Structure 1
Amino acid sequence: MPRQKFMEIYAVLKTRVESGAYPVGQMLPSENTLIQEFDCSRNTVRRAISELVRDGYVQTHQGLGVCSIFQPIEQSSYTMGTIESFRETALRTGQHSGTKVVSFSRCTADQAISRQTGFAEGTQLFSLCRLHDLDGVPIILNLSYLRVDCMPGLTAEIAGGSLYRYLEEELGMTIVTSKRTLTVEMATEQDSRWIDLAPYNCVAVVTNQVYNSQGVLFEYTQSRHHPRIFRFQDNAVRRPSAKTPVGV
């Protein structure tokens, strides 16, 4: 499935903002300039800009244009508002990443797995454990269940690369949304086996249920992070209430 035009424009402008081509405080090119550059409609440009606004890269000023408000984030920070693979995060933060497949097998969702993941009992799943490192240091243990009928050709070799690249570029899947929960938990024996946690005895856990454009839950992943490098960064927007009490 070809990528939508507005997402291509979004990706180009996002890269320019992140690289400093449009530094913080600078106005982006006008709508007319972008329309001419990308050979597209005004609505397509506006949709791309709205995505940049939503993700905290730019801000619109009525009558003036669009201004870059991007400030580089810390290394090892993960963004809350987007679905991003480990490899994409490493590229964005300028680090070298590696992935080791610890285990890869097939299973059937029983009652316990169904309760944990949200998959219906009887669903055929891949059970996948991967260890991620940054600059050679293991920092994340990923425990995943993946729906077999959404990726029947998945292998351990593919899983050791970029899973989302495989799903999007080779299978044509559109990944849409993720339900995400953040917790702090005591480290398990498995955590301590693969990640050097000393002097910590806990891990930061990000649990994701990821859905595609068909509304199908295709992935459940529990990412168990070393607490020393764990940071999540979000861009929050205050929405005015219908009526603000006097004196507030």
Structure 2
Amino acid sequence: MSGGAKYQQIADTIREAIRKGDYLPGSQLPLVKDLCTEFAVSRITIKHAIDELVRDGLVVKRRGAGTFVKAVADSAVSKRSKFSQFGGFSEYYSGHKIHTEVLHFAIIHPDVEVAGQLKISPDDFVYDIQRLRCADGEPVVIEYTQMPMDLITGLKEKHLQDSLYRYIEGSLGMHIQSAHRTVRAVMPTETEQELLGITGKMPVLEVQQTAFLSDGRPFEYSLSRHRGDKMDFKAVSVR
């Protein structure tokens, strides 16, 4: 196992411990030498893991004192875990009754912009997916997603009824690492108004996203249009 993968696993373990309350806000994490013993790794690996938690805004390093857990809301902490952070709709609405309506599923050639985002050729093939996602019987978001067919293999319509990320990580054994997102307010189309049960006067929140695996390969380009009264977007900013 590479050093990078190891420090990410350690960061995930500590992150989960913070989420569960094993380390309370304001409490000190074990010393570096103790973490080295616990995880049987070098000091540099522990340093990389702690640095990742610092970047996530979950802990703060105090010179001469150690590393301390910041007072971050539990919902924010849970969304920092690798799976939860990029688990999409299913993770965000965990605990709610979720229903997915597949509006469109086909295999097409991507346009030049999408091909550029996915680092493939316009001559390659992508899955072209449109889904309406509902929570507790109410429509919440319309997702327009494209994924490289050569990378995300074996995708069937039955998989679209569940979490695509769960299929990618659970069935394909891939690790989702990061995503680049742009969020903007836009006006819905007439079709989107009808599907989401809103009027033309209500803007929707559009999330444009390119998501990446742990090896750096982009596996998803998507546009999601969310009802503005049903979705919050939270972030932790660190200096």
- TM bucket (normalised to shorter chain) is 0.7 to 0.9
**SS in structure 1 at match of 2:12:** helix
* CA pair 12-228 structure 1, distance change in 2 beyond 3 A: same
Q: Deviations over 1:150-209 (max 9, x none)?
A: 123111122322322332343343444433211111111232232233595220000012
Aligned to 1:85: 87
Aligned residues: 230
Question: What is the CA distance between 1:147 and its match in structure 2?
Answer: 0.9
Q: Deviations over 1:98-152 (max 9, x none)?
A: 251332111122xxx3236635422211111122233443212111011111123
**SS in structure 2 at match of 1:53:** helix
Aligned to 1:63: 64
Question: What is the CA distance between 1:231 and its match in structure 2?
Answer: 2.4
**Larger deviation, residues 202-211 vs 40-49:** 40-49
Aligned to 2:181: 180
**SS in structure 2 at match of 1:139:** strand
Query: Matched residues, percent identical?
Result: 29
Aligned to 1:138: 139
* CA pair 200-15 structure 1, distance change in 2 beyond 3 A: farther
Aligned to 2:113: 115
More helix by share: 2
- Verify the 8 A CA contact 2:193 2:200 in the aligned structure 1: no
Q: What are the within-5 Å matches in structure 2 for residues 76-225 of structure 1?
A: 84-86=86-88, 87-91=90-94, 95-96=95-96, 98-100=98-100, 101-109=102-110, 113-115=111-113, 118=116, 120-197=121-198, 201-213=202-214, 215-225=216-226
**Larger deviation, residues 24-33 vs 48-57:** 24-33
Structure 2: how far apart are the matches of 1:89 and 1:206? Answer: 14
- Verify the 8 A CA contact 2:190 2:200 in the aligned structure 1: no
* CA pair 198-29 structure 1, distance change in 2 beyond 3 A: farther
What is the alpha-carbon root mean square deviation over aligned residues?
3.0
Counterpart amino acid of residue 89 in structure 1: Y
Question: What is the CA distance between 1:10 and its match in structure 2?
Answer: 1.4
**SS in structure 2 at match of 1:235:** coil
- Verify the 8 A CA contact 1:78 1:233 in the aligned structure 2: no
TM-score by length of 1: 0.79
**SS in structure 2 at match of 1:145:** strand
